[in-house]
Amino acid sequence: MNGRPTQPHRKILVVGDDKSLTRVLGIALSSQGYTVQTANDGVQGLVRVKSWHPDLVMCDLAMPHMDGFAFLSRMRCFTDVPVIILSGEKGLLIDSAVIAAGANLFVRKPFEMKALDEAISSQLANTGAASVHH
């Protein structure tokens, strides 16, 4: 990541079943000044979105119990918080399918941390506090 100061207290939720990736992302994002929480699957992710109200969600597509598409669909019923999908899924239509499902951005794994930092910055610049519909 580029060492640029971030807006204070911006909260990022990382949802994915790859514990080593979520741990590395948590460390990297925390070092940038973000407050980070993680969830191991879409079910836990929904609970955290409702209770913690993150400013941004990063989510994998392939997860146990609830995949990224189901997570997005259910989450969009109550919030418009920006979502960046991080996935190794390949295919010509996956990018548009992810956006149609409610994600704001698709970042293909493996990715450069600089590219992820730019994606996060652009999504947070386009939004104020997350909107949660009750």
Domain ranges for the chain, please list them.
11-125
Q: Which CATH number is 11-125's, of 1.10.10.10, 2.70.70.10, 3.30.230.80, 3.40.50.2300? A: 3.40.50.2300
The confidence score (pLDDT) of residue 9 equals 80
Q: How confident is the model at residue 1 (pLDDT cuts 50, 70, 90)?
A: very low
Per-residue pLDDT reduced to its tens digit, 82-123? 999 999 888 778 888 999 999 999 999 899 999 999 999 999
Residue 4, C-beta contacts closer than 8 angstroms, at least 6 positions apart: 32, 117, 121
> Mapping DSSP to helix (H, G, I), strand (E, B) and coil, where does residue 52 land?
helix
What mean pLDDT do residues 26-37 have?
95
The confidence score (pLDDT) of residue 89 equals 86
- Which residues are 103's β-sheet partners? none
What mean pLDDT do residues 116-132 have?
76
What's the rounded Cα separation, in Å, for the pair 6 and 4? 6
Percent of the chain with pLDDT strictly greater than 70: 89
Per-residue pLDDT reduced to its tens digit, 54-69? 999 999 999 988 999 9
pTM score above 0.85? yes
